[in-house]
A and B are shown apart, each in its own frame.
Chain A
Amino acid sequence: MANAIEATGLVKRYGEVQALDGLSFSVPEGVVFGLLGPNGAGKSTTVKILTTLSRANEGEARVGGHDVVADAEKVRHLIGVVAQKSGLDPEATGRENARLQGQIYGMVGRELEERIDELLARFGLADAGDRLVRGYSGGMQRRLDIALALVHRPRVLFMDEPTTGLDPEVRASMWQEISRLAREEGLTVLLTTHYMEEADELTSRLVILDRGRIVAEGTPEELKGELRGDAVHVELGKPEANGRVQKALDEVPGIREATVDGRLLHARADNGARAVPAVLQALESNAIEVAAVTVARPSLEDVYLRYAGRTFSEADTEKEDNR
Chain B
Amino acid sequence: MTAVQHSSYMMIRYMRALARQPAWIFVTLVQPVIWLLLFGALFERTVDIPGFASDSYIEFLAPGVIVMTAFFSAGWSGMGMIQDYDRGILDRFLSSPVKRVALVAGPLMQNALVILVQSVIIVALALILGASFPNGVLGVLALIVISSILGAGFGALSNGLGLVFLKEDSLIATMVFLQLPLTFLSGAFMQEDLQPGWMQTVSDFNPVNWAIEAGRNVAMEDIDWTLVLTRTGLLIAFLIAAGVFATRVFRTYQRSI
Contacts and interface: CB of A to CB of B under 8 A. Distances in A.
Nearest to A53: B95
Contacts of A77: 97
Interface stretch (A21-29, A88-96, A248-256, A309-317): A88-96
Tier of interface size on chain B: 20 to 34
B88 to A, nearest CB: 4
Interface string B1-19: 0100110010001001100
B257 A105 contact: no
Contacts of B17: 89, 91-92
Contact of A81 (B6, B95, B257): B95
Interface in A67-108: 73, 76-77, 79, 81, 83, 85-92, 96, 100-101, 103-106
A63 to B, nearest CB: 11
Contacts of B20: 91, 132
A46 interface: no
A298 B97 CA distance: 44
B13 A92 contact: yes
Contacts of B5: 103
Interface in A203-250: none
Is the contact region of chain B dominated by helix, strand, or loop, or is it mixed?
helix
B72 to A, nearest CB: 22
A87 B255 CA distance: 20
A73 B97 CA distance: 6
A79 B94 CA distance: 12
A189 to B, nearest CB: 16
B80 to A, nearest CB: 10
B225 interface: no
A76 B16 contact: no
Contacts, number: 70
Contacts of A87: 87-89, 91-92
A62 to B, nearest CB: 16
A86 B86 CA distance: 10
B255 A55 contact: yes
Contacts of B96: 76, 81, 101, 104-105
Contacts of A48: 257
B156 to A, nearest CB: 21
Contacts of B88: 83, 85-88
Contacts of A89: 13, 17, 87, 89
Contacts of B13: 89, 92, 96, 100
Given A76-B95, A89-B87, A92-B16, A104 B254 contact: no
Contacts of A85: 88, 91
Contacts of B16: 91-92, 96
Contacts of A91: 16-17, 20
Contacts of A106: 2
Nearest to B255: A55
Interface in A264-321: none
Interface string A44-60: 00001001111100000
Interface of B: 2, 5-6, 9, 13, 16-17, 20, 87-89, 91-98, 254-257
20 contacts: A52-B94, A53-B254, A54-B254, A81-B95, A83-B92, A85-B91, A86-B87, A89-B13, A89-B17, A89-B87, A91-B17, A92-B13, A92-B16, A96-B13, A101-B96, A104-B96, A104-B97, A105-B96, A106-B2, A132-B20
A-B residue pairs, 6 tightest by C-beta: A87-B92, A87-B88, A91-B17, A85-B88, A51-B95, A76-B97
